[in-house]
């Protein structure tokens, strides 16, 4: 019982931290994607420390709170469709041994989520921004950015597991 309370307390702090980070993205609009991805790091730590189920709960709570509490919805949208969900998907995909298959699924998945992001930005939130357009240049830049993000994310998770994690315990 105490372990569950401890996990819930830590995940509540992660949720609050994530929402506050995304609030920064509302204030400084050029950081909306950056803060959504940074908030997703809390989900990655939750996956590592507590498992996928607890990470999904963190992701869901943060998603709902960010849409309810944030004055601008763009950081919340980025979190829901990219920054927050990707650590969970990545953790599940990394279990597959075939690297080419994993990358194919990642790229296809990213493009599906990115299309959903553009559609939601255009049709639900009426966002007028070039990043929310259906053109080949935006998709090419998005895929290149995703590739770099995935590698950087892997390195950050490795840094956490090999150096930071043992210092926290």
**pLDDT averaged over the chain?**
92
* Residue 81 neighbours by CB distance under 10 Å: 23
Element (H, E) at 33: helix 32-50
Stretch 55-73: mean pLDDT, rounded? 95
Q: What is the set of domains in the chain, with CATH numbers?
A: 2-168 (1.10.1760)
Q: What is the pLDDT of residue 42?
A: 96
Stretch 100-128: mean pLDDT, rounded? 90
Stretch 35-64: mean pLDDT, rounded? 95
Determine the longest span between alpha carbons in the chain, in angstroms: 52
Q: At what angle do helices 32-50 and 86-93 cross, to 10 degrees?
A: 50
Instruction: Please tell me the pTM assigned to this model.
Output: 0.90
């Amino acid at each position: 019982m105490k372990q569950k309370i401890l996990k819930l307390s830590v995940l509540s702090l992660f949720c609050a931290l994530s929402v506050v980070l995304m609030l920064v993205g509302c204030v400084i609009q050029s950081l909306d994607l950056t803060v959504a991805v940074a908030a997703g790091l809390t989900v990655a730590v939750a996956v590592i420390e507590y498992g996928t189920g607890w990470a999904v709960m963190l992701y869901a709570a943060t998603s709902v709170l960010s849409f309810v509490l944030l004055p601008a919805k763009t950081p919340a949208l980025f979190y829901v469709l990219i920054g927050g969900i990707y650590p969970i998907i990545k953790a599940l995909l990394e279990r597959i041994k075939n690297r080419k298959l994993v990358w194919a699924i990642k790229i296809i998945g990213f493009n599906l989520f990115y299309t959903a992001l553009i559609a939601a930005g255009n049709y639900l939130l009426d966002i007028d921004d070039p990043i929310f357009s259906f053109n080949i240049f935006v998709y090419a830049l998005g895929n290149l950015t995703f590739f770099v993000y995935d590698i950087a994310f892997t390195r950050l998770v490795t840094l956490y597991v090999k150096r930071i994690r043992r210092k926290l315990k």
